[in-house]
């Protein structure tokens, strides 16, 4: 069975086709990938079977076929306009998602700026930040692993939600485990299934998923921020990684 468009795109297609069918007093319908009628304009005119067709590509979705009793030129114009409308809808949806992420970033950064006015130690600032970001990402714990350049290892300097014993004993060599690789190459990582990650090291505190980003000061990596295990076993996304990086 062919993939069907999302409910939002389906509603958009239906409204568009219905509107054009009524305006042009023409029979129009949309056929899905299985050849079945996906939507048929509700007009007081039935098809005589002499239908022309135009393929409408849907980004990240199935190709739909617009059929109608219009000239090839007119049907093509309507089909291209429908395709542009669907594309614009997709762009607007992505923009809304981006704006939502930006709003979360601004709220988080504003809260951090307010925290800076009330605290005096770096550790307290980072601990407050970890508490906020764990809450925003709906995760179970967050840690800041400081890089000891002399020993070429990471240790947990600040945390939120981690067991104290784990914090005291946890060490990772540079290049070891997920955080060690992030510290080594400066590339953020999302691991949504640690069982499938051949370089993951649990260090006595196994987690199912994590997102880890490097922390830089003056262009130099001083450690790694890691947020682990979203509530409900939900996966981390690129949006979460961008938010954490901010």
Residues of the chain above pLDDT 70, percent: 79
For 204, phi then psi, to 5°, come to 85, 0
More confident residue, 144 or 9: 144
Please state at what angle helix 122-136 crosses helix 72-116, rounded to 10 degrees.
150
Please determine, for residue 51, whether its predicted confidence score (pLDDT) is greater than 60.
Answer: yes
Mean pLDDT of the chain: 79
What's the pLDDT score for residue 112? Answer: 60
Lowest mean pLDDT among 19-28, 38-47, 79-88: 38-47
pLDDT of residue 73: 84
Contact by Cβ (8 Å): 16, 82: yes
* pLDDT(134) > 70: yes
Q: Is 25 exposed, middle or buried (0-12, 13-18, 19+ CB in 10 A)?
A: exposed
Collect all residues with Cβ–Cβ distance below 8 Å to 55 and sequence separation of at least 6: 63, 64, 65, 66, 79
Q: Which of 118-122, 183-187, 238-242 has the lowest mean pLDDT?
A: 118-122
pLDDT band of 164, cuts 50, 70, 90: low
Cα distances (Å, whole numbers) of residue 42 to 21, 64, 226:
8, 18, 54
Query: Would you state the pLDDT for residue 45?
Result: 61
- DSSP sequence for 150-204: TTTEEEEEEEES--HHHHHH-EEETTSHHHHHHHHH---EEES-GGG-TT---TT
Q: How many CB atoms lie within 10 A of CB 175?
A: 13
Q: What is the pTM of this model?
A: 0.54
* Average pLDDT of the segment spanning 147-170: 81
Q: What is the mean pLDDT of residues 35-59?
A: 71
């Amino acid at each position: 069975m062919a993939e069907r468009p999302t409910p939002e795109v389906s509603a958009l297609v239906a409204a568009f086709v219905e509107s054009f069918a009524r305006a042009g007093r023409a029979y129009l319908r949309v056929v899905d990938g299985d050849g079945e009628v996906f939507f048929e304009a509700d007009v007081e005119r039935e098809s005589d079977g002499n239908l022309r067709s135009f393929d409408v590509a849907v980004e990240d979705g199935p190709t739909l076929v617009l059929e109608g009793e219009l000239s090839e030129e007119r049907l093509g114009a309507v089909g291209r306009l429908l395709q542009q409308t669907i594309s614009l809808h997709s762009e607007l949806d992505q923009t809304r998602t981006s704006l939502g992420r930006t709003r979360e970033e601004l709220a988080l950064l504003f809260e951090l700026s307010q925290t800076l006015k009330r605290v005096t130690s770096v550790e307290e600032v980072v601990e407050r930040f970890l508490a906020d970001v764990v809450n925003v990402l709906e995760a179970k714990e967050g840690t800041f692993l400081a890089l000891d350049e002399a020993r070429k290892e990471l240790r947990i300097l600040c945390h939120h939600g981690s067991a104290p014993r784990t914090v005291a004993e946890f060490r990772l060599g540079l290049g070891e485990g997920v955080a060690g690789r992030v510290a080594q190459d400066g590339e953020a990582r999302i691991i949504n299934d640690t069982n499938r990650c051949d370089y993951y090291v649990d260090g006595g505190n196994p987690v199912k998923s994590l997102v880890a980003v490097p922390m830089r000061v003056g262009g130099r990596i001083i450690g790694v921020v890691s947020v682990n295990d979203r509530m409900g076993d939900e996966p981390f996304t690129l949006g979460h990684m961008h938010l954490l990086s901010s």
